[in-house]
Amino acid sequence: MTNTQIPNSQAPAVRSRPAAPPAAVRPSVRDRGSRLLAALFLAPTVVGIVVFTVVPIVGSVVLSLFHWNVIDPPRFAGGANYRTTFTDSTVLVSFRNTLVFMVLAVALQLLIALSLALALNARMPGWLRSLFRSAFFFPLVLSAASISVVMKYLFNQDFGVVNWLIGLVGVAPVPWLTSEHAAMATVVLVYVWQQFGFSFLLFVGGLNNIPKEIHEAAALDGATGLRKHLGVTLPLLSPTLLVASVVGIINALQVFEQPYVLTDGGPGDATLTVVMVIYERAFEQLDFGEASAVGTLLFALIMAVTALQFRLSRRFVHYQ
Amino acid sequence: MSAMSQATPTLKVTPTLSRVRHPLAPWTRIAVLTVCALLTLGPVIWTVSTSLRTPAQSFDLPPQIIPTHPTTAAYRGVFDQIDVWLLALNSTLVTALIAVGQMITAGLAGYAFARLEFRFKKPLFGLVLATMMVPLQVTIVPVFLVLKSMGLTDTLLGLILPAFPTAFGTFLMRQYFLGMPKDLGEAAMLDGAGPWRIFRSVYAPLAAPGLAIVGVLAFNYHWNEFFRPLILETSSQNYTLPLGLVSLQGNLGTGSISVVLAGVVLSMLPALAVFVVGQRPLREGITSAGVNR
Nearest to A261 among B140, B199, B246 (CB): B246
Whether residue A5 is contained in a domain is answered as no
The answer to the question of residue B261 being in a domain is: yes
Statement: residue B292 has pLDDT above 50: no
Q: How confident is the model over B112-139, as a mean pLDDT?
A: 89
The model's pLDDT over A157-207, given as tens digits with 9 standing for 90+, comes to: 888 889 998 988 988 889 999 998 899 999 999 999 999 998 998 898 888
Give chain B positions within 8 Å (CB) of A94: none
The reply to whether A71 falls in a domain is no
DSSP 8-state code for residue B181 = -
Task: Give contacts of B223 with chain A, Cβ < 8 Å.
Answer: 143
B68 at interface of A, judged by CB pairs closer than 8 A: no
Cα–Cα distance between A167 and B178 in angstroms, integer? Answer: 57
Q: What would you measure as the largest C-alpha separation in chain A, in angstroms? A: 86
CA distance A53 to B142: 9
| Position B119 in a domain | yes
Instruction: Measure in Å the smallest separation between the Cα of B190 and chain A Cα atoms.
Output: 7
- Looking at residue B137, what is its pLDDT? 85
Residues 6+ apart with CB under 8 A from A126: none
Check A15 against B180: CB less than 8 A apart: no
Q: Which residue in chain B has the smallest CA separation from A256?
A: B227
Coil, strand or helix at B274: helix
pLDDT of residue A234: 81
* Angle, vertex CA A238, rays to CA B19 and CA A121, nearest 5: 40
CB pair distance less than 8 Å for A201 and B23: no
CB B141 to CB A282 under 8 A?
yes
Q: Is B160 on the interface with A (CB under 8 A)?
A: no
pLDDT class of A227 with cuts at 50, 70, 90: low
Asked whether residue A42 falls in the same domain as residue A155, the answer is no
For residue B151, the domain's CATH number is: 1.10.3720.10
Give A47's contacts in chain B (Cβ within 8 Å): 165
Of A15, A119, A198, the CB nearest to B29: A119
3-state secondary structure of B180: coil
Closest CA–CA distance from residue B3 to any residue of chain A (Å): 6
pLDDT value of residue B21: 41
φ/ψ of A16, rounded to 5, equals -75, -10
Distance from CA of A300 to the nearest CA of B (A): 10
pLDDT tens track for B184-197: 888 888 888 888 99
Residue A221 in this model has a pLDDT that exceeds 60: yes
Q: What pLDDT, on the 0 to 100 scale, is given for residue B184?
A: 87
Q: Taking CB atoms and an 8 Å cutoff, what residues of chain A touch B274?
A: 141
Kindly state whether residues A237 and A178 are assigned to the same domain: yes
Candidates A14, A135, A218; nearest CB to B37: A135
Number of domains comprising chain A:
2
Instruction: Name the residue with higher pLDDT: A10 or A202.
Output: A202
The sign one gets for the Cα dihedral B37, B213, A1, A110 is negative
User: Is residue B204 in a domain?
Assistant: yes
Q: Which residues of A touch B61 (CB under 8 A)?
A: 159, 161, 164
In a domain, A141, yes or no: yes
A167 and A236 within one domain: yes
Domain hosting residue A100, numbered range: 80-316
* A46, A161: one domain: no
CA distances from B160 to A266, B106, B134, B188, B222 (A): 32, 15, 19, 37, 9
Same domain, A26 and A157: no
Mean pLDDT of the region B166-180: 90
ipTM score above 0.85: no
Asked if B104's CB is within 8 angstroms of A37's CB, the reply is no
Contacts of B88 (CB under 8 A, 6+ apart): B241, B266, B267
Query: Cα–Cα distances in Å, from A53 out to B13, B103, B138, B167, B227?
Result: 57, 19, 10, 10, 16
Q: How far is B46 from chain A (nearest CA, A)?
A: 9
User: Which of A153, A236, A278, A314 best tests the B interface by mutation, with the highest count of B CBs <10 A?
Assistant: A153
Dist. CA B282–CA B152, nearest whole Å = 31
Domain boundary residue among A5, A35, A63? A63
Q: Which of A5, A62, A142, A202 to mutate to test the interface with B (most CBs of B within 10 A)?
A: A142
Q: Residue B229 is part of which domain span?
A: 79-289
Structural domain contains residue B278: yes
Same domain, A57 and A95: no
One domain, residues A29 and A117:
no
CB contacts of B104 in chain A (<8 Å) are 44
Chain B residues with beta carbon closer than 8 angstroms to that of A231: 3-4, 6-7, 11
On whether residue A144 sits in a domain, the answer given is yes
CB-CB under 8 Å, B43 with A154: yes
> Is pLDDT larger for residue B79 or for residue A47?
A47
Cβ A162 vs Cβ B273: under 8 Å: no
Task: With a cut of 80, say whether residue B287 has pLDDT above it.
Answer: no
Nearest-Cα distance to chain A for B293, in Å, is: 9
pLDDT-derived band of residue A147, with 50, 70 and 90 as boundaries? Answer: very high
Cβ-based neighbour number of residue A130 at 10 Å: 12
Residues A288 and A211 occupy one common structural domain: yes
Helix, strand, coil: what percent of chain A each, to 5? 75, 0, 25
- Classify residue A27: in a domain, yes or no: yes
Question: In chain B, what residues touch A19 (CB-CB under 8 Å)?
Answer: 190
Binned at pLDDT 50, 70 and 90, residue A291 comes out as very high
Query: Is residue A122 situated within a structural domain?
Result: yes
Same domain, A134 and A28: no
Confidence band (pLDDT; 50, 70, 90) for A223? low
Domain count, chain B: 1
How many CB pairs below 8 Å do chains A and B form together? 354
Mark which residues 178-197 of B lie under 8 Å from A by CB: 179-181, 183-184, 186-192, 194-196
What pLDDT does residue A15 have?
42
Q: Which residue of A has its CA nearest to B106?
A: A45
pLDDT band at A30 (very low <50, low <70, confident <90, very high): low
B257, closest residue in chain A (CA to CA): A153
Chain B residue with minimum CA distance to A165: B62
Of A127-131, A136-140, A173-177, B66-70, the range with the lowest mean pLDDT is B66-70
Amino acid at B232: L
At A310, which amino acid appears? Answer: F
Closest CA to B142 of A61, A82, A22: A61
State the nearest Cα–Cα gap between B50 and chain A, in angstroms: 11
- How far apart are the C-alpha atoms of B225 and B223, rounded to whole Å? 6
Identify all chain A residues contacting B220, using CB atoms and an 8 Å cutoff. 140-141
Asked if the bond preceding B70 is cis, omega within 30° of 0, the reply is: no
- The answer as to whether B50 is a domain residue is no
3-class state of residue A68 by DSSP: coil
pLDDT for position B166: 93
> Is A145 in contact with B7 (Cβ distance < 8 A)?
no
pLDDT digits (tens, 9 = 90+) for B10-65: 444 434 333 334 456 778 888 889 999 999 999 999 999 888 887 767 777 777 77
Query: Does a structural domain hold residue B13?
Result: no
CB contact under 8 A, A231 and B11: yes
pTM of the model: 0.84
Q: Best residue in A36, A148, A150 to probe B by mutation, most B CBs within 10 Å?
A: A150
Q: Are residues A85 and A161 in the same domain?
A: yes
Q: What is the mean pLDDT of residues A103-111?
A: 96
Give CA–CA dist B192/B169, Å, rounded. Answer: 31
B87 is a domain residue: yes
Identify the residue with better confidence: B261 or A17.
B261
- Percent of chain A clearing pLDDT 90 (strictly above): 46
Q: Which pLDDT belongs to residue B258? A: 83
> What band does A12 get if pLDDT is binned at 50, 70 and 90?
very low
- The rounded mean pLDDT for chain A is 84
Q: What is the CATH number of the domain that holds A141?
A: 1.10.3720.10
The predicted structure's pLDDT at residue A6: 39
Could A161 and B61 be called an inter-chain contact, meaning their C-beta atoms sit closer than 8 Å? yes
d(Cα B173, Cα B110) in Å, to the nearest integer?
Answer: 5
Residues B91-101 have pLDDT tens digits of 999 999 999 99
Residue of A nearest to B37 (CA): A135
User: Looking at A16-25, A145-154, A272-281, B252-261, which range is the least confident one?
Assistant: A16-25
Residue B176 within a domain: yes
Instruction: Indicate whether A213 and A181 sit together in one domain.
Output: yes
Q: What percent of chain B has pLDDT over 90?
A: 39
